[in-house]
Amino acid sequence: MTASAPRWISESDVVQLIDLGDAIEALTRGLLEEAAGSARNMDKTAAHWSASSNMHAIGAVFEGADVFGTKTWGNTPAGSTPLLTLWNATSAKLSAIVEARALGQMRTAAMSAIATRWMSAEGADDLAIIGSGKQALTQVAAVAAVRRLRRVRVFSPTPAKRTAFAEKLRGAFPGIEIRVADDAAAATQGASIITLITRAREPVISSSMIARGAHVNAAGAITNERREFAQDLFPRASLVAVDTLPATRALSAEFIDWYDRQCAGDWTRVQRIADIVAAARRRPAETDISLFKPMGMGISDVALGIEIMRRAQASGIGRIMPPPGLATPRISHPAQEETAA
């Protein structure tokens, strides 16, 4: 990628430059590069404080695009401000800083879309969405982008919030039947796709709620104090994939409890979604439950960031910034220098 002046790309710029379909395509390319070995993750790291606050850092290098980048963010009860920083991989010069909330929502949704495309039954058309927060709408849109949905059932713990979310879905997807469920069991009964996008600390679904042939996207619990599904899903899950194995092994309480404790550390049945995509491997017909766990990885964010940056440079969108400068460190205070003189 040719060098140009670094630019600041805002949230409004991001949503002007790409939509969810573009994000799915960009992430698919990124996963193919990961499978080929030309894109590599920096393992996710996190720190936690107080009752529900945490910070995260992820990153990746794309050798073919000549770009490396990191995304950093924190979550506190007051909010979050994620930023993606991109550099030229040859010169190490700054290329862009991208405000990354919308990018992150599209990345998370795009990953669910890709997993649903390859891991769910091709005729799956009945979605249960558990959770009605900020990422729920894009999660529904992601599944609708790869499967022809006839019905979506909604559940979240607060009746007013799930009702309001259902109304939002009716406006966004007028051709799909939208139902509000009174509990998670009613939402998931007979559903062929289930997406979990919650902040639950205790499981909200168990094996008895899931029909044979269903696919589950467990997208919400990405820190080790959270759990969305019960352990009894694993014996039925004959197809299991994650976006990043290192982060899953370090931070997913659900997977750690099963594979480290119940399976004595044997993770060999867990596949990378990148390898499934690269092999164009469809869901085996005999699969009971398929389970996908996205933790968030640098390749995903940087893949979208590269596409956003390319489009911004081509169209002149974004605010040009002065490149970072160099200065010699001061080793004494000016008053000390005057005294010495």
pLDDT digits (tens, 9 = 90+) for 68-104: 999 999 989 999 999 999 999 999 999 999 999 999 9
Global pTM reads 0.92
Euclidean distance between CA atoms 197 and 218, whole angstroms: 7
The rounded mean pLDDT for the chain is: 94
- Using CA atoms of 73, 76, 81, 84 in order, give the dihedral in degrees to the nearest 10: 10
Angle formed by the axes of helices 298-315 and 20-36, nearest 10°: 120
Residue ranges, comma separated, of all CATH 3.30.1780.10 domains in the chain are 7-103+298-320
Kindly state the average pLDDT of the residues 219-239. Answer: 92
At residue 340 the predicted structure's pLDDT band, cuts being 50, 70 and 90, is low
Other C-beta atoms closer than 10 Å to the C-beta of 14 total: 26
3-state secondary structure of 171: helix
Element (H, E) at 49: strand 39-49
| Predicted pLDDT of residue 46 | 84
How wide is the angle at C-alpha 137 spanned by C-alphas 216 and 280, nearest 5°?
45
Instruction: State the pLDDT at residue 1.
Output: 46
Overall average pLDDT of the 149-162 stretch: 97
Q: Where in the chain is the domain with CATH 3.40.50.720?
A: 109-293
Average pLDDT over residues 208-215: 97
Quickly name the fold that domain 7-103+298-320 has.
ornithine cyclodeaminase, domain 1 (3.30.1780)
What percent of the chain shows pLDDT beyond 70?
97
- Homologous superfamily of 109-293 in CATH? NAD(P)-binding Rossmann-like Domain (3.40.50.720)
Give the model's pLDDT for residue 309: 98
Q: Looking at residues 37-61, what average pLDDT do you find?
A: 91
Torsion of CA 223, 227, 233, 235, to 10 degrees: 60
- Tokens representing 198? 């919650």
